[in-house]
Amino acid sequence: MSTVVPDGTAHTGLETLYREHSGWLHGWLRQRLNNSADAADLAQDTFIRVLLARTAGTLKEPRHYLATIARGLTIDLYRRRSLESAYLEALAQQPERYAPSAETHAAILDTLMAIDRMLDGLGPRTRAVFLAVQLDGLSYEKTGERLGVSVSTVRKHLARALMHCLLVEDA
Amino acid sequence: MKAILSAAVDWYVRLHDSSVDDATRAAWQAWCMADPRHAAAWARLEQLQGRLGSAPRGAAQTLENARRDRRHAVKALALLLGVGAVGWQGYRASPWSADYATRIGERRRLTLADGTRLDLNTDSRVDVCYDAGQRLIQLQRGEILVETAKDARPLSVRTVAGDILALGTRFSVRQDNGVSHVAVAAHAVEVRPSRASQVVRIDSGYSLSFAADDIGPLQPLAPAGQAWAEGMLVSVDWRLDEVVHELARYRPGYLGCAGEVAGLRLSGAFNLDDTDVALASLEDALPVRARRMTRYWVRLEPIGKG
């Protein structure tokens, strides 16, 4: 590239942040996760997030900021684990032996993570309608029978769910 | 826009009905054609469908099971983390993946539908939107090199700073916070910042930086500035901290250098596929050594320190 702008301040800031707070963050996570290896991984990931955001030098309350990021990563970790175990269980119940490659497995989990995140904030009935129509491919009539609601209710909840998904993308 | 999205959703719900008739389909088509914003809203619904289409068989059940398993864990977790259900739902990681993306240290070369060649540098993301009227490449993050193919439709690159219209050409765009750096290797491009009325033409051999409301001066192209597409970083009389800052883009974690050695100057070519080799050659060429705290934490320091 034509111009290279040294970013010394951000790096120095991050180094200070790491030196002063990484021990604290690791302890904070260990206390909550009850698992030292997970805590170490998430502490590392937290600093990588800070590095990518290039905000290290400008923080007023670094521990609050670090804890906010670490919290989000912890939630993601739980989300991923729950989806992975549900998916593996579903695979195990399939009659034919089907073993996806590591790459496919990771891509499927990413897809499930993304859909799961998108559905956060939907009510149980709206989510159920969305999943039945969009992922199971049921007709409105079949969906209504399965959930014990009218076709017009199915339409209403489907519209609500789709709108939610489109707006979440913007957030 | 929200009202239009809502209208698009209504159309979708009507069209998805098993009893949909031709008159409804015709009315929907007329709606799509009536306004480009209608068509754009519809395209977003189709994108959503595409994403859902990559879900595995039985995904609905898997998602419901995972959510049920988690409900219990979440209550305990929310107490530990000090967040309520709002915290769980309010947290969002990165948005939906763009069409093409690279990880840190990765590069990709693509040929698009019209034959245009697109190189993605490390840690980059683009959305490619081609339609009947235009070819649009939205650079979300990172750096690309574009070599356009001949086509009747105009090709432009869009960044947060504005649009770059290609005039039959080879050029690179790098997005860095709110600033876009454009360097033109062949022919020319036109730059239009999103919040300024100026249009500036950049001819072959020149580069400039611009933000949404400001355009910087034209500057001669740096030698071998687009060598990254071939996996090389070429520095000609650069400061060490400049070299380190560039190499850091290709490595996950932190790579830095101590202030005492930041001003050392060097010229050289580095292989971007293995930044450890690049660091070793810096240690050979200059009185510095790399101090490693973890694989993700490397700092160049003067020899004899620490």
Contact A6 B45 (CB under 8 A): no
Task: Find out whether B128 and B43 touch, Cβ atoms under 8 Å.
Answer: no
Which CATH number is B231-302's, of 2.60.40.1260, 3.55.50.30, 3.40.50.10490, 3.30.365.10? 3.55.50.30
Please tell me which of the candidates B2, B63, B183 has its beta carbon nearest to residue A115: B63
User: What kind and span of H or E run contains A151?
Assistant: helix A151-170
The CATH architecture of the domain made up of B100-220 is Sandwich (2.60)
* A79-83, B132-136, B163-167: segment of lowest average pLDDT: B132-136
Please state the rounded mean pLDDT for residues A141-146: 94
Contact A86 B9 (CB under 8 A): no
The predicted structure's pLDDT at residue A11 = 57
Q: From the CA of A58, how many Å to the nearest CA of chain B?
A: 15
| A155 burial type by CB count under 10 A (0-12 exposed, 13-18 middle, 19+ buried) | buried
Question: What is the C-alpha R_g of chain A?
Answer: 22
Residue B278 Cα to chain centre, angstroms: 25
Domain ranges of chain B: 2-53, 59-90, 100-220, 231-302
Q: Best mutation site among B62, B64, B296 for testing chain A: the one with the most A CBs within 10 Å? A: B62
Count Cβ neighbours within 10 Å for each residue of A11-28 and write b for 16 or more, e otherwise.
bebbbebbeebbeebbeb
Q: Best mutation site among B42, B63, B240, B250 for testing chain A: the one with the most A CBs within 10 Å? A: B63
Cβ under 8 Å to B: A residues 134-163:
134-136, 139-141, 155, 158-159, 162-163
The predicted structure's pLDDT at residue B84 = 42
Q: What is the pLDDT of residues A84-113, one digit of tens each?
A: 888 888 877 766 556 677 788 888 888 899
Q: What are φ and ψ of residue B183, in 5° steps?
A: -130, 130
B189/B34 Cα distance (integer angstroms): 32
Domain of residue A159, CATH code: 1.10.10.10
B147/B166 Cα distance (integer angstroms): 9
Chain A contact for B225 (CB, 8 A cutoff) = yes
Which chain B residue is nearest to residue A70, measuring alpha carbons? B81
Chain B contact for A38 (CB, 8 A cutoff) = no
Residues A63 and A126 in one domain: no
Predicted model pTM: 0.48
Task: Find out whether A46 and A69 touch, Cβ atoms under 8 Å.
Answer: yes
- Angle (deg, nearest 10), helices B2-15 and A151-170: 140
* Strands B265-271 vs B108-111: parallel, antiparallel or unpaired: unpaired
Q: What is the pLDDT of residues A49-70, one digit of tens each?
A: 887 777 666 777 788 888 888 8
- By percentage, how much of chain B surpasses pLDDT 70? 90
The predicted structure's pLDDT at residue B91 = 37
Does position B61 have pLDDT exceeding 70, yes or no? yes
Does position A12 have pLDDT exceeding 70, yes or no? no
The predicted structure's pLDDT at residue B74 = 54
